[in-house]
Structure 1
Amino acid sequence: MGIDLKEYITLPILLILFLLVISLIFIFPVLNMIILGIILAYGIRPVAKRIQSKLKFESISILLAMIVVIIPLILLIAYIVFVISGFLSTFYVSNQNFDVNTALSQISYYIPDNPFLNENNFVQTIESAGKYVLNYLVSKLGSLANITLDLFVLICSVYYFVKDGDNCYEFIKSFVPDEHMGFFNRTVKSIEDVLKSIFYGHFLTSVIIGIFGAVGYSLLGYPYGIFLGVITGILQLIPIFGPWPIYWALAIMDAFNENYPRVIVVLLFGFFLSLVDMYIRPAISSHHADIHPLILLVGFLAGPLVYGIVGFIIGPLILGITYVILDNFRKELKESK
């Protein structure tokens, strides 16, 4: 039986498609913030509902829930800044006669001879890298207006999706034909599982690794053990890094200080952290969503290239949702045969 396209390509449908394309063009510059707002709203909504049961004021409950969720992040950033500033001030007081060029020359002494990387070239390379980073930061300060706009859109998106998320869901659901309602419900459930997989499988894993790292580094006698654990947990969120930069850096420092027993111990502890990650992450993720780890890994790696730092969340989410939608569609086709 042939399909009569005239039944589907009508003037209202064409008008709707045209307006949807135009609207997408308008919102595309802030689309990543809207998507991130939806994700954060999903996590903040239960907190807001619990607060609302006590206060009875929806708007105040949502704002308080947003503050409750954001406070740990603010405290974490403040702690990192406090520790780094304290370390730099202590280092400056203890090394007022510190000469950067001399230090770089000493470092280059330990690097194997290389015609393309002699002492002068090494110092010039470090200076060029420093200038590049500085120029990059200055250029980012020039886009402060765009950053402010993104934050404003993000806050508004979180607030209104928490407040009117049910209405948005019912609005979308009203367009779904009755014969496809099962597919729609399964897809929504699968999307929730993907969200839980990302939140619990990756963020919870980073928290666990960070706690293990803080305890382990403190027991091994390293200064700033808690700070090292926090940085380890943050690096754990980035698949290409993980905890290895921290424990390898500590091992190299101990090797320079000729503390060879602790070199072996910290490397063994670092390998233990990596093994814990390999066990915990799949166990938690697979408990919530049956998605191949490679899909989420590609999302984590490719997401930042498209959406910037928020791509670490949006990337795996989009690929995960695409996978579950295709999988549910495949199942629906099998059931219809």
Structure 2
Amino acid sequence: MGIDIKQHLTPPMLLVIFLVIVSLMIVFPVLNMIILGAILAYGIKPVAHKIQSKLKFSSISILLAMVVVLIPLILLIAYIVTELIAILSGASSTSTYADINSLLSSISAYLPWSFDVNSISTSINTSVQEIGRYVLNYLAKFVSSLMNITLDLFILVCSVFYFVRDGNNFIQFIRSFVPDDSKAFFDNTIESVKDVLRSIFYGHFLTSVIIGILGAIGYSILGYPFGIFLGVITGILQLIPVFGPWPIYWGLFFMDLLSGNYPRAITVLLFGFFLSTIDMYIRPALSSHYADIHPLILLVGFLSGPLVYGIVGFIVGPLILGITYAVLDNYRKEYILGDE
């Protein structure tokens, strides 16, 4: 039995469709900030409720919770940018060129053939300088677009505030459009989405924070320059499935090996194995009570998210794919497997 499209495309429905399309066109340039705001609101909401239990003022509690959560994130980004500038500036110095030359000389002593150390070190130094210029130019463009960044941050802050305060009302508003025979599916989907958010927040973000803190402490104790920065990068890499902290500690291992610091090379390798091992215990312990998301979904989200949404894609990408998986899985259980 066919569906009479004309029966559904009434003038009010056509007006609604038209207004929704026009609204999406207006919202699309800042849609990533709105999505990120909804995601952050989910993590901030419990903090706001705890503060509200003491203050009894909803708006003030939400603002304080946003300060507690968002300010550290902004400071973290500022710290990463500052350290990158310092590292890139140091990489182009004369002393660094001498270090590269000395390192290549050490390598050539173990090889059965000879090569022009000065030529290779010059090429490496030139490449490092080019990379440094590219990053610095990118940062300069980033600062020059401060007006757009300010607008994005303003929309992000407003989105977080109103999603924390009125998120439940928004869900009920959407639910009112759902037919009665699909309300159970809608409610189950909302719960599945919450499970995905809990799984990613507790099982992945919190694991990365713990690994990053341990890495910063360990690298600093071992005497590496920029030990805290290495810990931050370790935590960020921990977010990406397959990667984890191994690029950092293996890189430090080879640097110490080539420079002749064998005790520290062995120590940092063992420390790196320790970081990789405890991840297998921390992550399942934190996320086992929530949704079990396949690592490939997170990997694709982390790698493709920034291509679509920019830097916030590292957060938005895996979350959107995880939520999409949860919705599809819930639909499969409700309408496909349920009918068998």
Is the shorter-chain TM-score for this pair beyond 0.5, marking a shared fold? yes
Shift of 1:107: 5.3
- Is 1:19 the counterpart of 2:22? The answer is no
Q: Measure the CA separation in 2 of the matches of 1:158 and 1:287.
A: 26
Q: Measure the CA separation in 1 of the matches of 2:85 and 2:140.
A: 20
Out of 186, 189, 195, the residue aligned to residue 193 of structure 1 is 195
- For residues 99-118 of structure 1, the aligned pairs below 5 Å read 99=95, 102-103=98-99, 105-106=101-102, 113=115, 118=120
After superposition, the C-alpha distances for 1:179-206 in whole angstroms (9 at most, x for unaligned) are 0011001100000011111111111111
- Structure 2 residue aligned with 1:94: none
After superposition, the C-alpha distances for 1:41-84 in whole angstroms (9 at most, x for unaligned) are 11111222222222222211111111122344356567768988
Question: Contact conserved, 2:88 with 2:132, CA < 8 A, in 1?
Answer: no
For the structure 1 residues 251 and 136, does the alpha-carbon distance in structure 2 shift closer, same or farther, using more than 3 Å as the test? same
Question: Contact conserved, 1:239 with 1:301, CA < 8 A, in 2?
Answer: no
Q: Measure the CA separation in 2 of the matches of 1:109 and 1:138.
A: 36
Shift of 1:300: 1.4
Question: Contact conserved, 2:241 with 2:296, CA < 8 A, in 1?
Answer: no
Q: Secondary structure at the match of 1:287?
A: coil
Question: 154-163 or 128-137: which moved more?
Answer: 128-137
For the structure 1 residues 114 and 36, does the alpha-carbon distance in structure 2 shift closer, same or farther, using more than 3 Å as the test? farther
Out of 136, 139, 151, the residue aligned to residue 138 of structure 2 is 136
Code of the aligned partner of 1:335: G
- Is 1:335 the counterpart of 2:338? The answer is yes
Out of 156, 164, 176, the residue aligned to residue 166 of structure 2 is 164
Q: Measure the CA separation in 2 of the matches of 1:291 and 1:180.
A: 25
After superposition, the C-alpha distances for 1:288-318 in whole angstroms (9 at most, x for unaligned) are 1033221122111111111111111111111
Q: How many residues align?
A: 329
Q: Measure the CA separation in 1 of the matches of 2:149 and 2:183.
A: 40
For the structure 1 residues 330 and 101, does the alpha-carbon distance in structure 2 shift closer, same or farther, using more than 3 Å as the test? closer
- Structure 1 residue aligned with 2:321: 319
- Is 1:236 the counterpart of 2:238? The answer is yes
Question: 239-248 or 56-65: which moved more?
Answer: 239-248
How high is the sequence identity, in percent, across the aligned residues? Answer: 66
Code of the aligned partner of 2:338: E
Shift of 1:259: 2.2
Q: Measure the CA separation in 1 of the matches of 2:70 and 2:241.
A: 24
After superposition, the C-alpha distances for 1:111-151 in whole angstroms (9 at most, x for unaligned) are 77489x74544343333222222222222222111111100
Q: Which 5+ residue runs of structure 1 have no aligned equivalent?
A: 90-96
Q: Measure the CA separation in 1 of the matches of 2:6 and 2:266.
A: 73
- For residues 1-337 of structure 1, the aligned pairs below 5 Å read 1-73=1-73, 76=76, 98-99=94-95, 102-103=98-99, 105-106=101-102, 113=115, 118-217=120-219, 220=222, 222=224, 228-239=230-241, 241-282=243-284, 284-333=286-335, 334-336=337-339
Q: Measure the CA separation in 1 of the matches of 2:122 and 2:193.
A: 55
